[in-house]
Chain A
Amino acid sequence: MSSAGHALFAIGLAISWLNSSLHIALAERPVYAGSPRMFRGPVSRGRLVSVLAAGSAFFALLLLFVLRIQPELVAAGILLALISIRRVEIAQWHDDIVVRLGKYAPAGACLAGWLAADVALQLWGKPAAEARLLGWNASCGVMAGAYVLAGLVKLRKSGLGWVRADRQALLVAERAFAGPRWLRSLRLAVVRSKTASLGAGIFGLGVELGAIGLVYPPARLPVAAAVLALHGGFMLLLGYFEIEWLAVLMAIVLLGAPA
């Protein structure tokens, strides 16, 4: 369980890194649009070499993380690397676009939670092995906090009316002009169905608030299943392939399970 969890978490961290790397290496191309065309044509050699060199160092850190060698130092190094590449990514764009448009970093957040809890527990006198295991429960708490916060912010800004069918339908309709024909048809069918749009809104907000269940170990599996379904909805209806979230979620559920 632990090895699989570490490997999955490392995949989540790698996705986070690769996401930023891609946006830096192909900064002048429509990466967010996700078309394979972004890989066509020459790339700036200097930028590519820098990204590959930094990537090699990052993946070496990931290997140490999976092998659990000096985990606290390695985690701190990984976080520093993620902060650094994010700074470079932010600098590729004018103003605060990268930050303002919600470039979330669940792998970094959960690793920071693990590291903070692990160090605090060891300072409090817990044996290193126990502190490291309990630290993954802090990651589950951070993940719960991210979803619950997302739900609470919706309630604060839009009230329960956030789930209204017309509001959800409009969000889906805006994404019904891209993708294969079957997907556009599916999105338009949801847009035209008040029941489906309202259901999507209620399910989305409900799962975000219900993610508080991630703090309670026996509830984690069913809550994680609901969150996976939520992300399935994001992929189908909104076109967001947030695999970093999925890899990290599955990893911390495994890593936070009682030994």
Chain B
Amino acid sequence: MATLVALAAMLVYMAISLLVGDRFPFSKYSMYADLRTRDEGAVLYVRWGERFVDPDQLEAVHGLDVAALDPKQRPCSQQWLVYEAQRWLADHTLASAPDDGEPVEVGFRLLRIEPDGSLHERLEPVTRGVGRLRR
């Protein structure tokens, strides 16, 4: 009986999930399912001066085109990080350049696995401005 109940629940849950999609508590669990066309991977980077930093290490920025960082336009498998960075940078944008600011560059690190298995990396800057680090 226990196996029967479990099997029935599994089949019903899968069937409803396929039918209704991602509606709590159902889901198609499709994250990372489609890897066929992923030849490159895009990882957000933020460069402050010569240093790579996390977005929320910046206290204030000016002059960045935050909307241009849209992760949906790129082969990005960590879109959450980009959306959170976009929100942080937009919320901390000043109308004028902050005092003691350094040049800030935000873009994507584009990664590719070469046929010999080695990792190829190139930086694709998207937007530049000025920023100050949190103390």
Contact of B13 (CB < 8 Å), options: A30, A121, A142: A142
What's the Cα separation between A167 and B77 when bound, in Å?
12
- Interface size range on A against B: 35 or more
Q: Which residue of A lies closest to B21 (CB)?
A: A99
In the assembled complex, which residues on chain A have CB atoms less than 8 Å from the CB atom of B17? 145, 149
Is the CB–CB distance between B27 and A170 below 8 Å?
no
* A33-B84, A145-B17 known; A161 vs B36 contact (CB < 8 Å): yes
| Central interface residue in B17, B24, B41, by most chain A CB within 10 Å | B24
Judged by a CB distance under 8 angstroms, whether B38 is at the interface is yes
Q: Which residue of B lies closest to A167 (CB)?
A: B35
Judged by a CB distance under 8 angstroms, whether B119 is at the interface is yes
Is the CB–CB distance between A30 and B9 below 8 Å?
no
In the assembled complex, which residues on chain B have CB atoms less than 8 Å from the CB atom of A100? 22
Is the CB–CB distance between B113 and A37 below 8 Å?
no
Q: Which residue of A lies closest to B112 (CB)?
A: A170
Judged by a CB distance under 8 angstroms, whether B96 is at the interface is no
Is the CB–CB distance between A256 and B6 below 8 Å?
yes
Contact of B41 (CB < 8 Å), options: A31, A111, A162, A170: A170
| Central interface residue in B5, B23, B84, B109, by most chain A CB within 10 Å | B5
Judged by a CB distance under 8 angstroms, whether A5 is at the interface is no
Is the CB–CB distance between A30 and B56 below 8 Å?
yes
- Interface size range on B against A: 35 or more
In the assembled complex, which residues on chain B have CB atoms less than 8 Å from the CB atom of A79? 25
* A30-B81, A141-B10 known; A169 vs B27 contact (CB < 8 Å): no
* A82-B24, A174-B43, A192-B119 known; A141 vs B13 contact (CB < 8 Å): yes
In the assembled complex, which residues on chain B have CB atoms less than 8 Å from the CB atom of A256? 2, 6
In the assembled complex, which residues on chain B have CB atoms less than 8 Å from the CB atom of A188? 119
What's the Cα separation between A141 and B5 when bound, in Å?
8
What's the Cα separation between A111 and B9 when bound, in Å?
12
In the assembled complex, which residues on chain B have CB atoms less than 8 Å from the CB atom of A134? 1-2, 5
Is the CB–CB distance between B113 and A108 below 8 Å?
no
Is the CB–CB distance between A83 and B24 below 8 Å?
yes
In the assembled complex, which residues on chain A have CB atoms less than 8 Å from the CB atom of B68? none
Contact of B7 (CB < 8 Å), options: A30, A40, A153, A215: A215
Judged by a CB distance under 8 angstroms, whether B127 is at the interface is no
Q: Which residue of A lies closest to B40 (CB)?
A: A170
| Central interface residue in A97, A134, A138, by most chain B CB within 10 Å | A138
Given contacts A170-B38, A256-B6, 15 further A-B contacts (CB under 8 A): A33-B54, A102-B22, A108-B25, A134-B1, A135-B5, A137-B5, A141-B7, A141-B10, A146-B13, A157-B33, A157-B35, A158-B33, A158-B36, A171-B41, A192-B119
27 contacts between A and B (CB under 8 A): A30-B54, A33-B54, A33-B81, A35-B54, A83-B24, A101-B31, A102-B27, A108-B25, A109-B26, A113-B9, A117-B9, A138-B9, A141-B7, A141-B11, A142-B10, A142-B13, A144-B6, A148-B14, A158-B34, A164-B35, A169-B117, A170-B38, A171-B77, A174-B41, A174-B77, A212-B10, A217-B2
